[in-house]
Chain A
């Protein structure tokens, strides 16, 4: 009898939106089930429903059998007994999910005192043990949540989840808000604990690649229904459902030429639970939708060994894997086809540069459009602490028509570098030059510079004033610079160029009436209207759904081709660099540690830090190299090579053998040149320029 058996679960919120529309899923003891889906697909609602944590007035149908007992039918006393003892939850934003005014140790001890006969002291020692289990010193029990880092707080949540030895752990987006390296640490911790204590795990995430890596079975949800279910690796690599295929496509595999300069996404946005489309909910966005799809609903049906999918193309009887017609690689006709305002489809592989070869530097190198020379930016420490050197000596060049990706963990100074390039932050040393001339920070000169370089921010809903219409938002740049020409035409042209057609329909709309993707397009249109030469995008797609991310990246690519608009994209996601960037620069602790063309750096990284970053990616080949510790603190930069404290090469003694160990400890590698050629700021890399990355750090 399975540990968890959900039968035809239906959840409708008080405002009538059907979040879950009939879900059947089961989980054996010790099994690990991943639930993937984009925003609004009902995965979190499912998680909360398992322990009846939904708000008052929500109507729940169906059965949830936990160890055979239906949670929905239990009396409240029984429900409370089951909560945390039977199954516990690890929430996503640990900052909000922990009570800010109670010590962490007390919060862990609370369920123990509640469910187990334990004295206060006993509960406290148990809490200490749990902290040790998740890799935190027991002394942290006395700390308050705000005194811990994101990674440490997530570990506390896990410790708390294990407090009453539950048989099932539900993890709702446990690592979404964390850095790549910390995410890897937490995922390894969860996987380790679950197998070690033979616990069942339900992991919920929007990141298909993470689930494929950690879970043995995977279910993909869309608009309140499970549309595909099966062994994790098979569903990820060879999905039977068009949505599954598109979703896994949205997570680029670095090194796979198919996704180079070809970001794949889906037109339109994930449906709103309050207005679920008729028939198969996916038909409006489905590339292989048939007439009937918009009418008859699809239920899960067998699609091979232990696999089920809810799509008309999955023949009832046939079990062979290849039965589903392969949607052509680039399913959509070229740009320009007017679809109803949902944005133009993904173009084919970018014409201008061939997918495989590195972008050869054009013969007569024109002066870089924008460059930073020996740039330093530091901030005074908080009330008297030592100064934080956010940008600690950077040379970087940006040529016309080139897309450069600036990659690094949080706190490495990439955002500060982007802001100082824009002139929003005056540097403490070094200078920024545009078209050969150094930047002049007087307000007049700054205003004309602002016309030439534009900024695109991460949070689309935050970057638009809720009280301005789309027309006002886009026209703001024109009004500031007192644009003489026909304002309406300029706005219409910018909007349609950003993919919002017909432009007039959007003039009077308010930001809150648009979807995430559309809002980001409005922001980009607002930047285009001033015909800038360069676009600085700070995490442009970080807060968008996977399927929408591809659309925006494709837009950036198209702008580069049509308007020769170069772009500096700041991101923590290496996949994005692989998708659209020509060159990439990896930053660590305020300095660029490796730069070069995307092909060179991502296929053959020479700096151990880049290698580690690549190795921890979910679908990266080989054993992941998880760097210990937290992201470095810019106010305490160590002598010598700033990475030596966490460098696996130094740790494994390899540097010793290459005779560069003391150099790593004492000599700070010199600042890399701003140009296009491939360089790595690492003594060890310098000695063995021919080594192959994979066996190097094993």
Chain B
């Protein structure tokens, strides 16, 4: 089959790619991406401030829990929380302090927001991090396998399962796991704890095992709900690659089928997958909030939900900022990692 004769051949590249030029171009590319990320962070800071000001309710009145408080005392509280200043001044104070790392004090817990976040962040990172690693690995491995033996039983089964679990509400799955594996139904005794992060009172290695024991069910819930997304993305990326000519070249060179897949097809298929994995992180943050609520996991998700009811403005803004920063950082990471995988970008 004679191919479509494209008379256009790209303009000639530099004679030989010099080492420094590549490094320098990558720096410029990286700086551009990080610059974009910083702008996004500022935008998040600003929107976080105004968005939560819309929440009805006067935090001070909620704070005093309806106890008899004189107008004077109320005014004192407002001054203490800086709520009496005009809006724009509140805003400038807020930004000034935020940039220096001081996110204000939580009305509810009377402790600096940064401390409350610092307390809960490691727990969320532990849960999200473990789940992220597991479901990404699982998604890529199963996705590759499903694509390579396309439309056979294995492919249809794993894709079907991934799609089903992808459509299951994460909180509902969590509750089911608690019923079956924590409370225990009939013969199956409760294997796992029903909630919380630790039984308390453990030290050293026993503490680690105890936390791991508490970690099992939440991680299984998160992984079950999230790995489908990665699987589908990897699978479609690899399917696109399987039709391309360089694979025929590789086979013509005498490489075995799985070598062709591992050395040639997968690296190319990973490019779009890597970006989409990080972009879908926004959805994982949502999943974490739900799983933390169901499993009483002392993380940011639970804190956020609690803070919203007061509304504990500094804490809510701080958490909102942390959630958005996590997603922005991961997206920027994806942008920085991408050129390392794909030589055509950022050089």
Contacts and interface: CB of A to CB of B under 8 A. Distances in A.
The answer to whether A and B touch in the complex, with CB atoms under 8 Å apart, is yes
A94 B343 CA distance: 17
A51 interface: yes
Contacts of B5: 176-177, 542-543
A99 B254 contact: no
Nearest to A462: B4
A519 to B, nearest CB: 12
Interface size class of A (residues with CB under 8 A): 35 or more
A84 B2 contact: no
Contact of A458 (B7, B12, B254, B341): B7
Interface string B301-320: 00000000000000000000
B110 interface: no
A572 interface: yes
Interface in A381-418: 410-411
A411 B253 contact: no
A99 B248 contact: no
Interface stretch (B13-21, B47-55, B191-199): B13-21
A689 to B, nearest CB: 33
B3 A176 contact: yes
Interface string A17-59: 0000000000000000000011110011100100101000000
Contacts of A39: 1-2
B2 A545 contact: yes
B244 interface: yes
B268 to A, nearest CB: 6
Contacts of B10: 149-150
B3 A173 contact: yes
A545 B1 CA distance: 11
Given A97-B245, A99-B246, A99-B264, A150 B17 contact: no
B344 A100 contact: yes
B164 interface: no
B246 A98 contact: yes
A111 B254 contact: yes
Contacts of B267: 99, 101-102
Interface stretch (A137-145, A429-437, A504-512, A664-672): A137-145
B343 A144 contact: yes
Contacts of B268: 99-101
A99 B14 contact: no
A173 B14 contact: no
Contacts of B341: 101
A468 interface: no
Contacts of A96: 244-246
Contacts of B13: 143, 146-149
B248 to A, nearest CB: 6
A570 B248 CA distance: 35
Contact of B254 (A81, A98, A101, A146): A81
Interface in A359-384: none
B9 A53 contact: no
Contacts of B92: none
Contacts of A477: none
Interface in A47-83: 48, 51, 53, 80-83
Contacts of B17: 142-144, 147
A40 B14 CA distance: 38
B343 A633 contact: no
Contact of B4 (A45, A99, A160, A459): A459
Contacts of B244: 96
Given A91-B249, A96-B246, A97-B248, A206 B255 contact: no
Q: Which of B3, B271, B341 has the most CB of A within 10 A?
A: B3
Given A98-B249, A101-B341, A114 B11 contact: no
Contacts of A45: 1
Contact of B11 (A43, A144, A411): A411
A499 interface: no
B67 interface: no
B12 A630 contact: yes
Contacts of B14: 147
B9 A182 contact: yes
A37 B2 CA distance: 8
Nearest to B4: A543
A334 B82 CA distance: 95
Interface in B222-265: 244-246, 248-256, 264
Given A80-B256, A110-B253, A140-B16, A151 B246 contact: no
Interface string A113-152: 0110000000000000000000001011011101111111
A91 B245 contact: yes
Given A51-B252, A83-B253, A173-B2, A410 B12 contact: no
B26 to A, nearest CB: 14
B8 interface: yes
A177 B9 contact: yes
Contacts of A206: 2
A43 B14 CA distance: 36
A520 interface: no
Contact of B251 (A53, A142, A146): A53
Contacts of B252: 51, 53, 83-84, 88-89
B8 to A, nearest CB: 6
A38 B2 CA distance: 7
A666 to B, nearest CB: 25
26 contacts: A38-B2, A39-B2, A43-B2, A53-B248, A53-B251, A83-B253, A84-B254, A93-B245, A99-B250, A99-B264, A101-B271, A110-B255, A140-B16, A142-B17, A143-B13, A147-B14, A148-B13, A149-B10, A149-B12, A150-B9, A176-B3, A177-B9, A410-B9, A459-B4, A542-B7, A630-B12
The 5 closest A-B pairs by CB, nearest first: A150-B9, A83-B254, A149-B12, A96-B245, A206-B2
Given A53-B251, A84-B253, A101-B342, 20 more contacts: A39-B1, A45-B1, A53-B248, A88-B252, A91-B248, A91-B249, A97-B245, A100-B344, A101-B268, A111-B254, A144-B17, A144-B344, A147-B14, A148-B13, A149-B9, A173-B3, A176-B5, A179-B7, A182-B9, A542-B7
